[in-house]
Amino acid sequence: MSHSTIVGGSTAKRVINCPASVALVAKMPPQLESEHAARGTLLHTAIAKILDGDTNVIGDTYKEQVLTQELYDEKIVPALEALNAIDPEQIMEYAVESRVGFGDFLPGVFGSTDLLGRIGDRAVVLDWKFGDGVVVDAEENPQLLFYAAAAMRTAEVAWVFKDVKEIECIIVQPPMVKRWVTTPARVQQFEQELAYAVRLSTWPSPPMQSGDHCRWCTAKPICPQMTGAVERALKVQLADLPKEQIALQLQQAGVIEDYLKDLRALAQRMLENDQPVPGFKLVAKRGTRQWVDEEKATLHFVNNMSLPISDVVEAKLKSPAQIEKIVGKKEFPSELVVSVSSGNTLAPDSDPRPAVLQIGSQLKAALTKLQ
C-alpha cells in the first residue's frame, strides 16, 4: 500500500515536532526495504488474512521472507492470544487493513490501520508491532491518534467511532500488550495539532527541531539541525564541559549516531548507483569460504579420506572452516572452495583493498534479462 508523502501514522510525531522535515524527506532518494521491514510486512499480511478467515498462512512469502511454523509460533500466536485477551467474549466488530484519510480537510494525508474495532460504546485502534527492537508505548501514541483521527473522517470505517464515549489505543508487540484509553475530544485536539504542523510545513522556512523524533527520519544526512550537531560534537572538548552539559551531550549521542549511520548508508547507495562521493569508494567485504560443489566435497571427505559422514555432514555440509579444523590445512583441498564476499562496504580511498567495479543499474538490469 502506498504511503502519504506528507505525513502518515508512523511519521506523525516527526512532522508535528519538525514541520521542516516534510520538505527535507522529499529530497531524499527512495528507501530500500530492509530485511526486518520485509518480515514485518509478511507478518502483518498473515495476521490480516487470519482475521479475514483465511488461516492457511504457513509458507506464505514476501520478497525473501517465509512464514515458517517457528516464526508463526513466535509472533502470530502470541498476537492472536493478546487479541483474545482484549476481546475475551469475541464480540468486537472489526475491520482490518483499512486505508484512512482526512479528505478535503488535509488533502494527501492518509495511512493504513492494522485493526479498527468496536465493543459497545468503546472504539478500538490496534497496531501490531512485530519488531524485536524499541518497545512502543500506547499512551499518547501519535501513530494511534493519527489513525483514530483519520478513521473518524473515513466513511467506510466511521461506524467504529459513531457516538462512542471512549477510544482505546492498543499496541500489541508480542509478548507485550500496551493499552491506553482516551476520548474523542483528545483525538480531535490531536487532529488540530497535526493540521497546524502540516500547514507550517508549507511555509518558506518552516520550524525545524531535533529530538527523539529524528530517529527514523531519512533526511538526517541533509538536515541542518543534524549536521550542526555533528560539527559541534567534533569541536567540543568534553573534558572541559560541566557535568550537566556532559549529561546533555550523552542524551543527544543516540541521535548523532543514527545520523552517522544514515549518512554512511546514503553514501553507499550513491556509490552503488554510480554517483561519486569524493574521498570514498566501495570495497568488497571480507570473503567467507563456500563449497564449490557440496556433493563433490562430501564424496571427497567420505570416500577419499575415509571420514565418517557424521563428521562431515549435519543438516548440510559443514563449512570449509569447520572441515579444515578436522583434516588440517595441509590436507585441505583448496580447489573445492571459493571465497565469496557478503557484499560491499564503504571505505576511504586510503584503504588498501581494491575498489568494487560498479557496472551501473541499467547494465545490471540488462544482464539480468539475459540470464
Q: 151 with 161: CB under 8 angstroms?
A: yes
Calculate mean pLDDT across residues 189-208.
Answer: 96
28 and 156 assigned to the same domain: yes
Specify the number of domains making up the chain.
3
> Residue 4: inside a domain, yes or no?
no
> Residue 129: inside a domain, yes or no?
yes
pLDDT in tens, 305-328: 888 877 887 766 788 888 888 888
Residue 302 has pLDDT above 50, yes or no: yes
- Grid cell, residue 179, equals 493499552
99 and 39 assigned to the same domain: yes
249 and 284 assigned to the same domain: no
228 and 132 assigned to the same domain: no
Q: 96 with 48: CB under 8 angstroms?
A: yes
> Residue 245: inside a domain, yes or no?
yes
91 and 234 assigned to the same domain: no
141 and 258 assigned to the same domain: no
Question: Which residue type occupies 15?
Answer: V
- pLDDT at position 371 is 47
Calculate mean pLDDT across residues 117-138.
Answer: 92
30 and 132 assigned to the same domain: yes
Calculate mean pLDDT across residues 154-162.
Answer: 97
- pLDDT at position 358 is 60
Report the alpha-carbon distance of residue 32 to residue 199 in Å, rounded: 29
Residue 79 has pLDDT above 60, yes or no: yes
Report the alpha-carbon distance of residue 123 to residue 82 in Å, rounded: 17
pLDDT in tens, 216-237: 899 999 998 888 876 776 676 6
246 and 337 assigned to the same domain: no
- Taking 3-state DSSP, the helix, strand and coil percentages for the chain, each rounded to the nearest 5, stand at 45, 20, 35
Residue 136 has pLDDT above 50, yes or no: yes
39 and 168 assigned to the same domain: yes
- pLDDT at position 365 is 52
- pLDDT at position 246 is 75
Residue 360 has pLDDT above 60, yes or no: no
Q: What is the DSSP letter of 331?
A: T
156-170, 193-207, 267-281, 353-367: which range is least confident on average? Answer: 353-367
47 and 87 assigned to the same domain: yes
191 and 340 assigned to the same domain: no
> Residue 6: inside a domain, yes or no?
no
User: What's the pTM?
Assistant: 0.69
Residue 361 has pLDDT above 60, yes or no: no
Q: 200 with 207: CB under 8 angstroms?
A: yes
Calculate mean pLDDT across residues 244-263.
Answer: 82
104 and 180 assigned to the same domain: yes
Confidence band for 289, pLDDT divided at 50, 70 and 90: confident
What is the domain range of residue 148? 12-201
Indicate the SS3 state at residue 103.
helix
Report the alpha-carbon distance of residue 347 to residue 264 in Å, rounded: 10
Give the CATH number for residue 68: 3.90.320
